[in-house]
Structure 1
Amino acid sequence: MNLEGRKIIVNKSVAELVEMLNKPEDYKTLMPESLQSFETRDNGFKFSLKGMPEIALKIEEVTDSQVVLKSASSSLDFALRGTMAPVSDSQTEIQLLFDGNFNPFIKMMVEKPLQNFINSLTDNIEKL
């Protein structure tokens, strides 16, 4: 299952974003309003949103062109990738991409909430 967020322009340099996205605690500011809990872990974090099960993510990779967050659970196989491209010295274009391997039943249940989550993250990133 592949989902895409819209492309946005953020008023931060790629270097500023890379620095921020390397710190698990900084992801809390990007979370939707429905956030119920947030806890940092070694190189990652776990969180829960209203009406959704707890999700644990680990920061897999942060480079000048992308950040990759992967599921920390062996039972769920997915990655959330943020692609970054400099627009200027102080602006960066970002797009969120979700790749998950789910069975058809799970896909049907999670597709809409995940798209809403990606849209909310995109909105919050845009406010940076």
Structure 2
Amino acid sequence: MHIESPKKKVAKSNKEVFEFLTDIKNFETLMPDNIDKFEVLDENTFKFALKGMPEIVLRLKEQNPHDKVILGAASDKLPFTLTADITALEENESEVGLSFEGEFNAMMAMMIKAPITNFIGTLSNNMDKIGQ
């Protein structure tokens, strides 16, 4: 299953966006309003839960300075990745596109597609909060 958010312009350099996204405690800033729990487990891992959804543990899997950050599920039960592609537009402006990639059976995919689409849409919209 592949889901992409629309690209979001951010009034920060690609370096600032990259540094924000690789400091995983900052993801709390991007979370939706219906967040039930957010907990940093270590410098590369955090756990969160949205109301009515199970807890999800995300780990920083890969980073390519200033243009890509990949988070992945810490559990192999539901393998997926959340990738932020960062593109420099100008000195103090960049564009961020989020994509979700996961291997799920048809029933699971049908159940989670809408919540995941909404979730990455909210993360994308909240990119405006970077550096505030």
Q: Which TM-score applies when normalising by structure 1? A: 0.96
Q: Give 3-state SS (helix, strand or coil) of 2:88's partner.
A: strand
Is the 8 Å Cα contact of residues 21 and 62 (structure 1) preserved in structure 2? no
CA offsets 1:20-61 (integer angstroms, 9 cap, x no match)? 112121110000000111000221100000111100000112
The answer to whether residue 61 in structure 2 is matched with residue 67 in structure 1 is: no
2:26 is paired with a residue of what secondary structure?
Answer: helix
Aligned counterparts of 2:90 and 2:41: Cα–Cα separation in 1 = 33
Find the counterpart in structure 2 of residue 5 from structure 1. 5
Distance 1:20 1:57 in 2: 16
Mapped partners of 1:99, 1:126: distance in 2: 24
Structure 1 residues 1-128: aligned runs within 5 Å: 1-42=1-42, 43-63=44-64, 64-128=66-130
Deviation at residue 18 of structure 1 after TM alignment:
1.6
The AA in structure 2 aligned to 1:16 is: E
Aligned CA RMSD, in angstroms, stands at 0.9
Identity %: 40
Q: Which runs of 5+ in 1 are unaligned?
A: none
TM-score computed with the length of structure 2 as normaliser:
0.93
Question: Which consecutive unaligned segments of at least 5 residues does structure 2 have?
Answer: none
